[in-house]
Structure 1
């Protein structure tokens, strides 16, 4: 895995929220997905306590574009078009596959993809 805190992958995806070009390796994508899930679960509990879903709704709006962009970049790492993200079952398989070694048509290899 790349050096640093796994939360750094989440921050990187948030900062690149409209970057649909380039590549994202597996740790970057899956740590983003993990933290996104954990934050959503935390907000679910908070929304139950305060009795409104406004925080969850705001977070969904906040994380919508970064989630799509991270998925597209992850598919680019496997040398596939981001349009595969529209196919529910197939995209999960592609998102789990290792990236293509070296450069591909979407750019240079991102970091270490052994994880």
Structure 2
């Protein structure tokens, strides 16, 4: 849960780097909260609840994704690959799953600090 709150604290911070754990834990809790939100909205008949949730977490999702791509030595603009159905998502999953690169223009290797 600390990774999810850390991403929310860095709401619109597109600088720096995020380790794999930070990104995937944020993604996991996002999915869990989305399913809970969708279940509640379905039970209440208020479908806009999931849309509000998704819009509220759009910027943090993009920022943690950009920081994760920075950790692999890529720019955050690679997230635009999500606009390409299926193939773009697969390529991004591969990028997000890659190990940290050494020190790069986005900052020092976060694994070295641990």
User: Do Structure 1 and Structure 2 share a fold, with TM-score over 0.5?
Assistant: yes
Question: 1:19-30 alignment to 2 at 5 Å?
Answer: 19-30=13-24
Contact 2:11 2:63 in 1 (8 A): yes
Alignment counterpart, residue 64 of structure 2, candidates 70, 75, 78: 70
TM-score norm. by structure 2 comes to 0.87
Q: Which residue of 2 aligns with 1:4?
A: none
CA RMSD after TM alignment? 1.2
Q: Which residue of 1 aligns with 2:84?
A: none
Could you list the runs of 5+ residues in structure 2 that have no partner in the other structure? 82-87
Runs of 4+ in 1 over 3 A off after TM superposition: none
Q: Which residue of 1 aligns with 2:9?
A: 15
Q: Which residue of 2 aligns with 1:35?
A: 29
Q: RCO higher in 1 or 2 (8 Å CA, sep ≥ 6)?
A: 1
Size of the aligned set, in residue pairs, is 105
- What's the secondary structure of 2:16's corresponding residue? coil
Structure 1 position 24, deviation (Å)? 0.2
Q: Which residue of 2 aligns with 1:97?
A: 98
Contact 1:84 1:90 in 2 (8 A): no
Contact 2:100 2:111 in 1 (8 A): no
Select the structure that is richer in helix.
2
TM-score norm. by structure 1 comes to 0.86
Could you list the runs of 5+ residues in structure 1 that have no partner in the other structure? 1-6
